[in-house]
Structure 1
Amino acid sequence: MEGYVDFRGYRTWYRIMGDPANAPGRRPLVFLNGGPGVPWPDRHHWFEDLVAAGRPLVLYDQLGCGRSDRPDDPSLWTVELFVAELSALRRTLGLEAVHLFGLSWGGMLALEYALTQPDGLLSMILVGTPADVPLFEREARLLRADLPPYTQRVFDRMEARWRPATGRGSGEVHPGRTLRQRQRGSAVMRRLVPVMTARPVQRLADPMSAVPGLTGLATRIAGVEWARRHVVRLSPLPAELLEAMVGVNRQVFDTMWGPADPLPLGALRDWSVVDRLGEIHVPTLVANGRYDEVTPLQAEALAESLPDSRCVIFEQSAHLPMLEEPAAFQEAVLRFLDEVDPRERTVDVPGPEVEPGARP
């Protein structure tokens, strides 16, 4: 089932997968997309696998991306807007008790939402989630130092260009696209990415970044090199990821985050909830890839600061372990949900063997 929720004069698209009425005791898992401004793909085998395992899901495209309305107004894009949108979604759909799944920015949104102390929030799963953007930037600088010198120079030039006007987006709003257009764009991207990862093209991005009008393209090319190291370590890139990349709203992303993943120069540049994490008391799974742009150091620090949490590091993954290690990731997610909802065992977790008459 899918439809729209009215929110502040705009429409937020949602889809419900699975039937909560036929899953007694299984509370829905609400997915918060990343970016900001990056929509969910139309199909994702991992979503379907979770539904097959008996877990109802609620997906929605945050305002400004995907099938939701895309107002052309950079002043709209604030944390408060997206927290209020999630509250409106729950209220309209009657989602009295939920688990939250936040990917990257979606995890940041989940933390902000949890700090409002909403009723019915059962747990959170935070994937590749920074809790402190200044720390993310410091760690990203260390990762940038391992990039080829010509790629480093592209990011350095873009940073120098943005730093004086920090907090301003590009002003470019990605036009609304139909599903067919996004899928067609995904096919084009699938052909372009191998070209963009070729060393001659990567080298060409260096002088391009010094030419007015080509800086943005050069940064996208350098971003592909960053992505294959610290976002998803798969070749070719999964179709789901390409579809999401095609649908990104640059106005939302640039305004809130910045011109590229390793350059958090937007409105979120000073964002941090580190000092307030002790106020969040819902069970939380912090999941991270070993090669994630949100480094394991950040994931472990986040888990240590939350009163009821555990951290899992996926050794073969970067930012998207649900694509890079899907079986292991699904097992970790289902095991966690079974633990926080003890009535809905989907995985039998045996306890330690105890000899007859012995005390456990």
Structure 2
Amino acid sequence: MKIRTIVSSLLLIILFSGCKESKTEDTTKANYLDYSKSDDQATGGIKMIPITTPIGKFNVWTKRVGNNPKIKVLLLHGGPGGTHEFFESFDGYFPNESIEYIYYDQLGSYYSDQPTDNSLWTIDRFVDEVEQVRKALKLDNSNFYLMGQSWGGILAMEYALKYQKNLKGLVIANMMASAPAYNKYAEDVLGPMLPKEVFAQIKEFEAKKDYTNPKYMELLYKYYYSEHILRKPVEQWPESINRAFKHLNPDVYVFMQGPSEFGITGDATLKDWDITSKLKTLTIPTLVIGAKYDTMDPKHMEWISKEVQNGRFLYCPNGSHCSQYDDQEHYFPGVISFLKDVDSGNFKKS
């Protein structure tokens, strides 16, 4: 009799705890698109956030999609000098899962202020900017997930190294932890995968620093971009990607990344960047995304997931640098599972 009572009590606890969780999910879903109590209702979630820099104050553009008090994902776009438009495919997946996400154009990008002082384009200054944006949006370690892709991955890692106490989770997409390692992968692996005569022509253009030559760009788009940036014929690329490339700020991009697409070279300020020795200090749940055809070495990405203390690796077997477009069947389920596992307390590292 006593055993039966204990079993019945346990069943009731499980039943009602499940109901409570379901009720919370239902409430979140019901309120997901309710902006009526928010200060950005009139602008559809858009906020221009003032930030302070060493040379003065500027404004950066953000746009919130949805409401979820427990999961808020701040998106850090690539480039440098890119835009939030690289992430617009998220609209097809995150809302149905009631995930709140925030588009954000970093300073110098198309929808934000675009000062021309190169002293602004440093990692430390960008990290400080992200922290100012976090405070303005009232994000904290009960709900704040930072997701960076490409250059945004560099920025996300650097932010986490300084401010991981503010984070609930971190997502590093399509970015290695070392510029020299990336350069070696591009030179030793990606370049030789091209037809020999094509790679020779590309290297000839680069040796002459003839980066604006239409033939150079034609070769890149036909043989490199459509294989390693987004695996579709260029004429079939999504409109949002074309718009993002159109809006790229070349001054910021070249200053930090350099003019070549085969690594970070020349006088680019990121060319010696390397944080591989610091990764082990990251303790927060971390998802690292790598793809088979990426410009970044997927094996290095998997290594990052093991080097941090609580990492998980997501492999996109059909994806390239923009796996959020060309391998959505693996990319989005993996990202969504990570966010929900961390939120529910069920996160397990790889």
TM-score, normalised with respect to structure 2: 0.78
Q: Is the Cα contact below 8 Å between 1:37 and 1:252 reproduced in 2?
A: yes
- Equivalent runs, 1:185-334 vs 2, <5 Å: 209=210, 215-224=212-221, 225-235=223-233, 236-265=236-265, 266-334=268-336
Q: Sort the Cα spacing of 1:111 and 1:33 in 2 relative to 1 into closer, same or farther, 3 A.
A: same
One-letter amino acid of the structure 2 residue matched with residue 133 of structure 1 = A
Q: Matched residues in 2 for 1:302 and 1:296: separation?
A: 10
Percent identity of paired positions between Structure 1 and Structure 2: 26
If you compute each CA radius of gyration, which structure gives the higher value, 1 or 2?
2
The superposition leaves residues 175-205 of structure 1 with CA deviations (integer Å, 9 ceiling, x where unpaired) of xxxxxxxxxxxxxxxxxxxxxxxxxxxxxxx
The superposition leaves residues 222-273 of structure 1 with CA deviations (integer Å, 9 ceiling, x where unpaired) of 3312111111112311112111111111111101011133131111011000
Q: Is the Cα contact below 8 Å between 1:38 and 1:244 reproduced in 2?
A: yes
Q: Matched residues in 2 for 1:77 and 1:154: separation?
A: 32
One-letter amino acid of the structure 1 residue matched with residue 239 of structure 2 = A
Could you list the runs of 5+ residues in structure 1 that have no partner in the other structure? 163-208, 346-360
Q: Sort the Cα spacing of 1:219 and 1:254 in 2 relative to 1 into closer, same or farther, 3 A.
A: farther
Match of 1:139 in 2: 185
1:279 to partner: Cα distance? 0.9
Q: Matched residues in 2 for 1:150 and 1:72: separation?
A: 39
1:10 to partner: Cα distance? 1.1
- Equivalent runs, 1:11-50 vs 2, <5 Å: 11-19=59-67, 23-24=68-69, 26-41=70-85, 44-50=88-94
1:2 to partner: Cα distance? 0.3
1:94 maps to 2:138: yes
Q: Matched residues in 2 for 1:276 and 1:343: separation?
A: 26
Q: Is the Cα contact below 8 Å between 2:87 and 2:324 reproduced in 1?
A: no
Q: Sort the Cα spacing of 1:303 and 1:161 in 2 relative to 1 into closer, same or farther, 3 A.
A: farther
Match of 1:108 in 2: 154
Match of 2:207 in 1: 160
Q: Matched residues in 2 for 1:274 and 1:42: separation?
A: 26
Match of 1:64 in 2: 108
Question: Out of 50, 64, 76, which is 1:6 matched to?
Answer: 50
Q: Sort the Cα spacing of 1:43 and 1:118 in 2 relative to 1 into closer, same or farther, 3 A.
A: closer
Higher helix share: 2
1:127 to partner: Cα distance? 1.0
One-letter amino acid of the structure 2 residue matched with residue 84 of structure 1 = D
Query: Equivalent residue of 1:313, what SS?
Result: strand
1:45 to partner: Cα distance? 3.7
Q: Matched residues in 2 for 1:330 and 1:305: separation?
A: 23
The superposition leaves residues 296-328 of structure 1 with CA deviations (integer Å, 9 ceiling, x where unpaired) of 122122112111101121111111121112232
Query: Equivalent residue of 1:119, what SS?
Result: helix
Deviates more, 1:9-18 or 1:259-268: 259-268
Query: Equivalent residue of 2:274, what SS?
Result: coil
One-letter amino acid of the structure 1 residue matched with residue 283 of structure 2 = H
Query: Equivalent residue of 2:226, what SS?
Result: helix
Q: Sort the Cα spacing of 1:318 and 1:96 in 2 relative to 1 into closer, same or farther, 3 A.
A: same
The superposition leaves residues 280-300 of structure 1 with CA deviations (integer Å, 9 ceiling, x where unpaired) of 111111111111010212212
Q: Sort the Cα spacing of 1:344 and 1:18 in 2 relative to 1 into closer, same or farther, 3 A.
A: farther
Q: Is the Cα contact below 8 Å between 1:121 and 1:282 reproduced in 2?
A: yes
Q: Sort the Cα spacing of 1:51 and 1:260 in 2 relative to 1 into closer, same or farther, 3 A.
A: farther
TM-score, normalised with respect to structure 1: 0.76
